[in-house]
Structures are given as structure tokens and as C-alpha cells.
Amino acid sequence: MNQFEFEHVYQRVTKQTGIGYKISPSAIKSLTDPSKLNKENMFNKMYKFLPILAWLPKYKWKENLKYDIIGGFTNGIMLLPQGMAYASLAGVEPIYGVYSSFFSSLIYMFFGTSQHISVGTFAVASMMTGAVRYRLIPDSLQNGTIQDDCKNYPKLDLGYEVTPLMLTSALTLGVGLVQVSYIKFIC
């Protein structure tokens, strides 16, 4: 039983839901029945998938824009060096950490709903990615020291040279596909 079914069964219907759009009792019934596709149901699903469509028309430009710009600069000042450091932990060039910090924040703007969140790279995932990278594509020097423990692992041989960027990109894509398929399976 999901939230819409619960509210319909127990006669509790709110006028305002999650991200600011109105929903009627008839729409709740149509949302629980997937065979019914009507205009209101499609708009509710679209607003749920892209929350920016719900909050952007209601944004108070004169009141909030200057504070959002200050918050964006503050967040950028923190995320740029942090992304560069975490890219070094992952074993790729620091510029790719800047890219990941920028694009993750940009994509979250369209699909996220929290106003108070800092999106970007983090240390644990970077260290795990770096461990895979140095295990499959070992360097003779890592952080200025010779790595003797990497010679026990087999080298990655696909018939062509695999760069660290190719490996980390494939790893990132694989993890993302697993997460999306898990979300689709659960929801």
C-alpha cells in the first residue's frame, strides 16, 4: 500500500502534497489505478519526476536570487578544491573532480527536491574507485612511493590500453546503472 492508497482508504486527503502541486481525490484514485491515464495524472507524474517544474514558476526572484547566488559561490568555493582532492584519491586528473562537482550539482537542480543540500563527490567513493583503479591499472609510483603490493594482482588486459579515466568512467556507469535498476525495481 502506498501513500495515495492509504489516504484514499482512510479518507485522509490533503490539499497540498510533497512539492507544491494540488491533487484531488479523483486523481488519487487514478494514480492507484495504472490503467487510467488522464491529464491530471500525467502532470502529477511529470512534477514528481522533474520537481523543478513545480518550484521554478513559484520562485521569488527579487527576494531569493541574491541569497542563492551567495550560497552558490560558497558551495563552489568548497566543492572545487574538494572535487580536485577526491579526483586525486580516485587516481584521475584533478580536473575530472571539478567536472563531477559541477555536473552533479547541475543535474540535481532538475531532479532533486531539497533546498539545503551540498551535492558532489565524497571521500569514501573516491577511495573505493581509487582502490579499483590502482588494483587493475597499477602505477609504479603512487603518491611518491613504489607500490610492491600491486604486483600480486593480475593486470587488466583487454587487447588495448585502458586508461585510468576509461576505467573509472566504466565503473561509474556500471554503478549508476545498478542504482537506477534498483530504484526501478523497488518503485
Q: What angle do CA 57, 14, 41 make, to 5 degrees?
A: 60
> What is the tally of helices (H) and strands (E) in the chain?
8, 2
What pLDDT score was predicted for residue 154? 62
pLDDT at 182: 80
The predicted pLDDT at position 67 comes to: 92
Q: Residue 149's pLDDT is what?
A: 53
SS (H, E, C) 157-176: CCCCCCCHHHHHHHHHHHHH
Q: Could you tell me which residues come within 8 angstroms of residue 78 by beta carbon, excluding any fewer than 6 positions away? A: 118
User: For residue 60, what is its C-alpha cell?
Assistant: 521569488
Whole-number pLDDT of residue 76: 85
Task: Evaluate the CA torsion angle 86, 88, 91, 92 in order and state its sign.
Answer: positive
pLDDT < 50 stretches in the chain = 17-21, 141, 146
- Res 31: pLDDT: 54
Specify the pLDDT at position 146.
46
